[in-house]
Structure formats: structure tokens, C-alpha cells
Chains A and B, each alone.
Chain A
Amino acid sequence: MKFIKWASLMAIALILILQTACKKTTNEPIPTPAAPGQFAIEFEHKWGMMQTPFSLNTLQVHPMTGDSLTFTTFRYYVSNIKVKKDDGTWWSEPYSYHIVDLANTASLEIELDDVPAGNYTELQYTMGVDSLRNVSGAQDGALSVTEGMFWNWNSGYIMLKAEGTSPDAANNTYLFHLGGFSGSNNIVTVKTTNFNGATMSIASDKTPHVHLVANPARLWHSSPSVSTKNTIHMPGAEAKTMALDFYTNISFDELHQ
């Protein structure tokens, strides 16, 4: 009985302490946070070491393999975009999954909205789709299977699709469906840029653009000519080599404030 009395007293004391701790100090003005802003990431595609313009349905000659390639499809996933403020905090885009599709001009520019105002010093983005989403069943938006970027027989996202025609390839076609999210087949690649030391300032009245350059010729940087290999349709060592050669080369070009 004595114990119960003691326990109740302690409980009352605790409640009182907690109540005081939670009380808001009312006399300090609450600063109004600056309205959030937005920024955009723009993917520019340039071909080979000469950095010539790249587009679909246009003949490109590969500087290393000598293959004549006419792309009909070039699309890939970019995910998990986040930016770092000069105070060290990160802002991450919610459900951050995007398909960059050369057949869809609007998709070359990823717009990020509702970004807290401030000065940002670093951008992080992921080429491919993180492993978790590859094993989590039905998904929405850019990750829906209706995008045609998910294998029906070997679960996982096709993180990059490059298809086209070439007189150098068997049947005059090539088809590279690259993916892989686990173990030694993992191609998912996290990229960062510090804008070459510049600062991206986010405010409601402007939309800074981050320009990234991607070079599809890099797919064959250390992979053989389409005359040797014109199809990849699953994860594995070959897919990894091709994807990583392309991913690692994607680089920051400039920041338009």
C-alpha cells in the first residue's frame, strides 16, 4: 500500500514536470520562414569525346568501336535527389523517381518543388532505382510497371534502356536493358556534385538550373561492338560494365542561377 502511495506521488510529480517542460514560451516572436522555392536538373546528352549533339533517330558513329548506331530508345531512371544546405542539413525530394526519356523533351528537365529557401552547396542523385523499391512489389508514378521499365520474369527495374538499329549488329538491331540491384550485379550508383564550389540559392522568385552532361557513347567505353554483342536483357557482369561506364561519366556542367 505504501508503495502505491509513493508511486502515485511520483507519477503526479512526473506529469507536472512534463507539463512545464512542454509549455511554450509565448513572448518570443516566431520567425516566419522564407517561402520555399524550386530548382531544376537538366540532362544534356552529348556524343563521344567530341561532345557532338545527341538525339534519337540520328546516325551516330561510335569513336571507339566504329559502330554506326541509330538510337530509337534511350531512357533511364534517376532517383533519390537531395540537396545539402550550407548549414549541413539535407533536403530530399519525397518519392524521388524520374525517367529521363530522350523521346520526351519535358523529361530531360527534372523540376524539384517545395525546396526550403537557402543556400545549397551539394547535389546528390542516384542513377538507377534503389534496391528497396526493386523488392517492394507494386509501385506508383515513374516506378509503375506501365512504364515498361520492369522485367516481368526476373523482378527488378530496367534502369536503362538503349535500343536502336545498326548495320553492324545481327538483325540490324541492338537492345540493351540494363539493371541489377543486389550483390555483384548491383549497378545503382549514387552521384554527387558540389557545383564546382558554387552555391545554389533557392528562393521563391527564381528557378536555378543544374546542368548535367550524359554521354551515351560511354556505354561502349569498355564493352564490345554491337557486332559482337547486341543484346543484354538481364542483370549481370556485362550489364554492370555498360551501365557503370555510362553512369560514372555523367558530370556537372554548369549552374544557372
Chain B
Amino acid sequence: MKRMISFLFLGLMLLAACSKDPFSPNPVSSNEGPDFPAYFPAPHYQSAENIWQKNRIELGRRLFYDPILSSDSSVSCASCHHASHAFSDFGKALSTGVNGAIGNRNSPALFNLLWSTSFMWDGGINHLEIMPFAPITLATEMNEDMNHILAKLNRHTQYKPLFEKSFGPGEISSKDFFYALAQFMGSLVSANSKYDLFRQGKISFSSDEQKGYQLFQVHCNRCHTEPLFTNQGFANNGLDSVFSDEGRYRITLDPDDKGKFKIPSLRNIGLSYPYMHKGQFNSLQAVLNHYSSSVKQSETLDPQLKGGIPLNELEKNQIIQFLNTLNDSVFIQNSLHQNPF
């Protein structure tokens, strides 16, 4: 009898362990952080100290949408990262900072940052928590000083209690500030695209999407590797033969890195135009035309792109149809990601 009871108990435990929805679009159901599908790898971002809390995510969201982070209170993170377009600055090749300053690279879309091993087009930032330090302090972006932001937050009647709720009593520190932003940015998990439903066996692709998927796996997947659609690496994809922006080289000073840029994820690609580090291309058609017929030669060009990617019009169209299955409408509509003000 005793044995039967233990078996029953074990069974119940197993049931409980299995009953959790393998993936829900609502992030953070527990201290373990945002949910993600079983076919995603383990997140790169881990913190023993920045324990996942709804309070912290909520505070991070507020900071993300608040222009208080800029020197003249005119620009927030969301000014150049729009939820409706997977947190990209859609339609803008280069973004506008305070005093009308123009940046020198395209604003990236923001999602699945927990898996990013580096940030920015040149990979110069090595950690999710300190990523915001760059746009906040750069003169062409938010042009603000960290000490000044902390002073503003510390005397703010609403922020002070919100920080205390998340981090305990005392002065707001830069660490608290970065922890909150990291939690909001980390909560931006995009894994509800048509591709994901396909991966989960819930739907099937159209025959063009299916063909596009096969072409993608042959020609694109080495760099834009499933399921995150990036291998987190850097590559020279033949945009230039002379580099006005030397990309990764600026960070490493390794000549092999000249003209290399971070390989972006292709998730939500249909929403995050224009494309490339300078926003050179306005459409996916233009991107595929580049890869098939206008790759420029240089020393550091990715070897697989030496002769371009041979694709006819039908194949380009099929790849685009597949790429559009990576758009995540659940992600862009998630109410937890929107402007809280």
C-alpha cells in the first residue's frame, strides 16, 4: 500500500511538471525568467543576483518608454525601438537622437536578447545589462550622463518607490537601473511566429513557404541559424569593397574583421525594414537581389558569398514567403511590451 502511495505521489509530481504549457506568450510566470520554446537553446544571459521579478520588468518597461533618460527629455529608448515593428525604427535607415543628431548605423530590432552574446552592429557591448549605457550616453542618441539620470530618478516621486519595491530601500544605483532595463529587454521573447507554430506541429506551411524554407536551409541557415535565426557571429556580406565603416574591426583591431558586422536574427524581418547596418535596403526583394547579383568582393568577404547566392526570381519569392513566416504578431501586440504611460 505504501508503495502504491509513493507511486501515486510520483505520478502526480510528474503530471504537475508536465502540465506547464511548454510555451506561453506571456513572459515570466516564475522566478525562472521568460518562457521560451523547448527547441530554443538555454539563454546566454544568466544572473544569480538579478532575480526575475514582475516588478523589475515593469520598472524596466517604464524606463524604456521614458524620455527622462535623455539629456533634454525628448528621446526615450522607444523613440527608435517601436513595439509595433519588433522594436526597430521602421522606415528609417538611421535614427534621430537629441538635437536632431543622426546616428551612423541602423537601429536594430530588439527581441530574444537573452540569447545574444554581444550587442550593437560591431558587437562592442559584451553584456545585456550594460547595453543601454551606449545609447543613453552617446551624443548622437540620448546624450545623457549616468550620474544625472540617477539624480533625476532619485528625486522623482514615482520612480523612488518603484525602485524601492524592486531593489529595497536606499539610493537608486546604476546597477539597479541596469538590472530593471535588462529584465524588460530580456522579457522581449519572440517565439510565436507562424514558423514556431510549424515547429510545434500546429500548422503546416504552404507549398511556397515550404520550398522557401528548404532554400533557406541550403543558402541562409549557416549564418542565420535556426531557431534564433542568427549564429551570433559576424560576417562581411559584400555590401562594400571599401569600408567607410569598418564594423567589427573597430572593436578588435583584427584586420580579418574589417567590414564585418553582427549577423542579425531574421525573426520579424518583414517588420523591421530597412535592412543592413546602414539601412541600405528597403525591401526583402532588394536584400535577395543583393545576395544573388550584387555582392561586392573584398578580402574579408564571407567565403560562401564569393560568387553570390544563385537564386532565380521564383526562388527569391519563395524565400521571402518563408521569411514572412518569421513575423510574430503575438509578440508585437503583447500588451506587456507597450507604452505604460
Chain A interface (Cβ < 8 Å from any Cβ of B): 134-140, 144-146, 150, 152-156, 234, 236
Cβ-closest chain A residue relative to B147: A146
Contact B138 A154 (CB under 8 A): no
In the complex, chain A residues whose CB is within 8 Å of the CB of B174: 138, 140, 144-146
A140 to B170, CA, bound (A): 13
A67 to B246, CA, bound (A): 34
In the complex, chain B residues whose CB is within 8 Å of the CB of A139: 175
Contact A145/B173 with A152-B137, A152-B138, A154-B124 known, Cβ cut-off 8 Å: no
Contact B173 A153 (CB under 8 A): no
Chain B: minimal CB distance from A185 (Å): 8
Extra contacts besides A138-B177, A155-B125 (20): CB < 8 Å: A134-B126, A135-B126, A137-B127, A137-B130, A138-B50, A138-B127, A138-B174, A139-B175, A140-B173, A145-B130, A145-B146, A146-B150, A150-B130, A152-B134, A153-B124, A153-B138, A154-B124, A154-B250, A155-B126, A155-B130
In the complex, chain B residues whose CB is within 8 Å of the CB of A155: 124-127, 130
A146 to B146, CA, bound (A): 6
Chain A: minimal CB distance from B314 (Å): 43
In the complex, chain B residues whose CB is within 8 Å of the CB of A154: 124, 250-251
Choice from A134, A137, A150, A156 contacting B128 with Cβ under 8 Å: A137
A155 to B134, CA, bound (A): 9
Contact A150 B147 (CB under 8 A): no
Total number of residue pairs linking A and B with CB closer than 8 Å: 58
Assess whether B47 is interfacial by the CB under 8 Å rule: yes
Assess whether B257 is interfacial by the CB under 8 Å rule: no
A150 to B127, CA, bound (A): 13
Q: How many chain B residues have a CB neighbour from A under 8 Å?
A: 27
Cβ-closest chain B residue relative to A134: B126
Contact A152/B126 with A137-B178, A138-B179, A236-B253 known, Cβ cut-off 8 Å: no
A212 to B25, CA, bound (A): 58
A130 to B175, CA, bound (A): 19
Chain A: minimal CB distance from B133 (Å): 5
Cβ-closest chain A residue relative to B148: A146
Cβ-closest chain A residue relative to B125: A155
Chain A: minimal CB distance from B96 (Å): 19
A136 to B250, CA, bound (A): 22
In the complex, chain A residues whose CB is within 8 Å of the CB of B50: 138
Contact B124 A138 (CB under 8 A): no
Contact B147 A138 (CB under 8 A): no
A27 to B254, CA, bound (A): 68
Contact B133 A145 (CB under 8 A): yes
Assess whether B66 is interfacial by the CB under 8 Å rule: no
Contact A138/B178 with A145-B133, A154-B124, A155-B124 known, Cβ cut-off 8 Å: yes
Contact B134 A153 (CB under 8 A): yes
A134 to B253, CA, bound (A): 19
Enumerate B83-122 residues with CB–CB distance to A below 8 Å: 120
Chain A: minimal CB distance from B48 (Å): 10
Contact A138 B146 (CB under 8 A): no
Chain B: minimal CB distance from A99 (Å): 15
Assess whether B129 is interfacial by the CB under 8 Å rule: yes
A150 to B125, CA, bound (A): 11
A240 to B250, CA, bound (A): 17
Contact B133 A152 (CB under 8 A): yes
Assess whether B182 is interfacial by the CB under 8 Å rule: yes
In the complex, chain B residues whose CB is within 8 Å of the CB of A136: 127
In the complex, chain B residues whose CB is within 8 Å of the CB of A156: 126
Chain B: minimal CB distance from A105 (Å): 21
Chain A: minimal CB distance from B247 (Å): 13
- Interface flags for B231-250 (1: CB within 8 Å of A; 0: not) read 00000000000000000001
A236 to B179, CA, bound (A): 30
Cβ-closest chain A residue relative to B127: A137
A152 to B50, CA, bound (A): 21
Contact B124 A144 (CB under 8 A): no
A234 to B126, CA, bound (A): 15
A153 to B104, CA, bound (A): 13
In the complex, chain B residues whose CB is within 8 Å of the CB of A135: 126-127
Chain A: minimal CB distance from B303 (Å): 24
A234 to B250, CA, bound (A): 10
- Interface flags for B118-161 (1: CB within 8 Å of A; 0: not) read 00100011111110011001100000001100100000000000
Cβ-closest chain B residue relative to A155: B126
Contact B253 A138 (CB under 8 A): no
A144 to B149, CA, bound (A): 14
A189 to B252, CA, bound (A): 21
Contact B182 A137 (CB under 8 A): yes
In the complex, chain A residues whose CB is within 8 Å of the CB of B179: 138
